[in-house]
Amino acid sequence: MSKVNINDSVVFVTGANRKKGIGRALVEEAIRRGAKKVYATARDLSQLDDLVAKYHGKVVAVKLDVTDQKQIQQASEIASDTQILINNAGCCGFSGCIHNYKEETTRLEFETNFFAPLYLMRAFSKNLIRNNAGAIVNIVSIGALMPFPMAATYSASKAALYSLTQAVRIEMMQHKVSVFGVYPGPIDTDMSKDLNVSKGDPLQAAVRIFDGMENGIEEITTDKLADAFSDSLKKDLRAIEAIKEEFGQGNPH
**Residue at 176: amino acid letter:** K
Helix, strand, coil content of the chain in percent (nearest 5): 50, 15, 35
Classify the C-alpha dihedral 117-118-123-126 as positive or negative: positive
**Residue positions annotated with a catalytic role:** 154, 158
Pairing verdict, β 59-63 and 178-183: unpaired
Q: Three-class SS of residue 251?
A: coil
| Collapsed DSSP state (helix, strand, coil) of residue 124 | helix
Longest dimension (CA), the chain: 66
